[in-house]
Structure 1
């Protein structure tokens, strides 16, 4: 899919991967980018349109879809972190994570599907995680696994209208969400570049780093191969 001349909307655009999605879309020739967030920031670039969008609120999403009726590509990037243990977290804590990471992304997809159809199909990109396949982060992993499943369903449901649905998986990446986690991290610019490359190539899925590729290839192995800690029990 040629990004040049297209209009892009990015959720969670204030920081982390979001700013890179906006900036790189413009670098690749996008005509306009809606940079959305609950409290959108000002941008110096004239082609960027700050737009208020709370993905957990039906009215906010509907208003954004009405305003941004010229969108060709939607990047479902907004997300929140979660507790590391399902047993230690309250159900309310887990529901809070799902509200943004799962139902928020679905709400955006449903609202913008008719917009994309009116524009000839376009593309929807859902930002997942390697933790979609590896349950080591409690509610967060569960939410990303649910989003992965939803993305697969949306891919089938949106295919008749010509919408490309891209699922993007990545490992630890240097964003504010994991600023306090002391691990080797990807450069977010590299991750976003790989995702835009996948959109341009019309790919259904992008494994944006080696960790994602390794875990994806291991999914057919026995469960204990993915969770060696079970060997002690």
Structure 2
């Protein structure tokens, strides 16, 4: 899709990758609703701050009413609690699934009729290499992102007849607050990842693989899991 003159809603746009996505959309000529649970934390010039909590259905409905001209939805909001599936807190596991899977689904369901009513457009889901790679220590996050992969593939087929393309962005560690403890040389530049993502949306790519680690893991999916 053409991003110039698009009307974009970016969730989790107050920091990290979401902030870069919102800023670059403005640079590409889009009108941007920068969504966050606390819109007063959005400090980007040229955007419209929008209150949106992906775990709050009424907040989602109100955001869809406000951003009624939307043609692009970027599902970027997410959390990582570092919770294993067996030893970890069940509440933390539910929170990750509620945010990273059910939140993405709820926002997409709310904005689908909006985008369709505006003549069609696109959805970009920000996922992870951990959609395909499932370390035990990050089991909760990996499970939620694996579910997000399935969601992205399923709604791509479901929304195509409604004139909406669906892309998934897959990436490893980025230089953001979420990966603050990771050495710098192991992290991708979120500005570069955002640029790849938006170019992929413009090209209608179903999957955008933003770093070498992700490309390697995707190519290795057919391999048998290592024995314990």
1:182 deviation in Å? 3.0
* Paired residues of 1:125 and 1:165 also in contact (CA < 8 A): yes
Q: 1-side partners of 2:213 and 2:114: how far apart?
A: 35
Match of 1:82 in 2: 81
Q: Measured at CA, do residues 88 and 189 of structure 1 come closer, stay the same or move farther in structure 2, by a change above 3 Å?
A: same
Structure 1 distance, partners of 2:154, 2:43, is 35
Q: Distance in 2 between matches of 1:86 and 1:181?
A: 22
The TM-score normalised by the length of structure 2 is 0.95
Poorly superposed stretches of 4+, deviation over 6 Å = none
- 1:131 is matched with 130
CA distance in 2, matches of 1:85, 1:68: 37
How far off is 1:42 after superposition? Answer: 4.3
Conserved in 1, the CA contact under 8 Å of 2:76 and 2:125? yes
Q: Distance in 1 between matches of 2:66 and 2:172?
A: 34
Instruction: Please give the alpha-carbon distance, in whole angstroms, between the structure 1 residues aligned to 2:203 and 2:10.
Output: 19
2:204 equivalent in structure 1: 202
Aligned to 2:26: 26
**Native 8 Å contact 1:165 1:204 kept in 2:** yes
Gaps of 5+ in 2: none
Aligned-partner Cα distance in 1 for 2:81–2:130 = 12
**Gaps in structure 1 of 5+ consecutive residues:** 225-229
Residues 75 and 127, structure 1, Cα contact 8 Å, conserved in 2: yes
C-alpha distance in 2, partners of 1:172/1:27?
A: 25
> Given the alignment of the two structures, is residue 54 of structure 1 paired with residue 53 of structure 2, yes or no?
yes
Indicate the residue corresponding to 1:227 in structure 2. Answer: none
Report the CA distance between 1:223 and its aligned residue.
1.6
Cα distance, 1:28 vs. partner?
1.1
- Distance in 2 (alpha carbons) for counterparts of 1:139 and 1:186: 23
Deviation at 1:181, TM superposition (A): 2.4
Aligned residues: 224
Partner of 1:154: 155
Alpha-carbon distance, 1:43 to partner: 3.3
Structure 1 residues 91 and 165: CA distance shift in structure 2, 3 A: same
CA contact (8 A) 2:9 2:70 kept: yes
Q: Is the 8 A contact 2:13 2:42 kept in 1?
A: no
Aligned residue for 1:2?
2
Q: Is the 8 A contact 1:82 1:138 kept in 2?
A: no
> Does the alignment pair 1:103 with 2:102?
yes
* SS of 1:103 mapped into structure 2: helix
Partner Cα distance (1:116, 1:205) in 2: 20
